[in-house]
Amino acid sequence: MAKTYTGKVVSDKMDKTVTVAITRLVQHPRYKKTVRQVSKFKAHDEANACKKGDSVAITQSRPLSKDKRWVVTEVVERA
Span 55-67, pLDDT tens digits: 999 999 999 999 9
Close Cβ partners of 52 (under 8 Å, ≥ 6 residues apart)? 9, 10, 11, 12, 79
pTM metric for this prediction: 0.91
3-state helix, strand, coil in the chain (%, to 5): 0, 55, 45
Question: pLDDT category, 79, cuts 50, 70, 90?
Answer: confident
What number does CATH give the domain 4-77?
A: 2.40.50.140
| 8: nearest Cα among 19, 68, 74 | 19
Q: For residue 19, what is the enclosing H or E element? A: strand 17-27
